[in-house]
């Protein structure tokens, strides 16, 4: 079991460029989440998907879009990157219905110049 995997591990973008962060889980979880982690701010929820075919905004959704491609995969897209989006991005997954442990991927470090 690979758990939660994320690609790429590290990316440098110029302001205005676009990119997609990929996330996949092999634990048959229904729920998937995208967080960003910034120094002094902690982890904040960007978007989540309670089940295949559904997505909802979290605390900081502006500037991002997501796609729940299938049960395994949940991608995060930056259409026009800004320096404020420099961060470490974590994907997580969990069973549906609340009350479950969330399992995190290793993260993607993104630097926007």
Partner 1 sequence: KQEVTQIPAALSVPEGENLVLNCSFTDSAIYNLQWFRQDPGKGLTSLLLIQSSQREQTSGRLNASLDKSSGRSTLYIAASQPGDSATYLCAVGTGANSKLTFGKGITLSVRP
Interacting residues toward partner 1 by CB under 8 A: 4, 31, 33, 35, 40-45, 48, 50, 56, 58, 90, 92, 94, 96-107
3 with 101: CB under 8 angstroms?
Answer: no
- Comparing CB distances to partner 1, the nearer of 17 and 103 is 103
Instruction: Write phi, then psi, for 84 (nearest 5 degrees).
Output: -65, -10
Kindly tell me the number of DSSP H helices and DSSP E strands found in the chain: 0, 11
Q: How far is CA 111 from the centre of its chain?
A: 15
Shortest distance (Å) from residue 80 CB to partner 1: 26
Q: Which is nearer to partner 1, 14 or 98 (CB)?
A: 98
Contacts of 70 (CB under 8 A, 6+ apart): 52
Least separation in angstroms between residue 42's CB and partner 1 is: 4
Q: In the complex with partner 1, which residue's Cβ is closer, 80 or 111?
A: 111
């Amino acid at each position: 079991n690979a758990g939660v995997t994320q690609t790429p591990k590290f990316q440098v973008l110029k302001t205005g460029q676009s990119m997609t962060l990929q996330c996949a889980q092999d634990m048959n979880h229904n729920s998937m989440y995208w967080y960003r982690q910034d120094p002094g701010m902690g982890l904040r929820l960007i978007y989540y998907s309670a089940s295949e075919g559904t997505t909802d905004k979290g605390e900081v959704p502006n500037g991002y879009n997501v796609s729940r491609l299938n049960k395994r995969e949940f991608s995060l897209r930056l259409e026009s990157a800004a320096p404020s989006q420099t961060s470490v991005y974590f994907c997580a997954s969990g069973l549906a219905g609340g009350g479950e442990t969330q399992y995190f991927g290793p993260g993607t470090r993104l630097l926007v110049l």
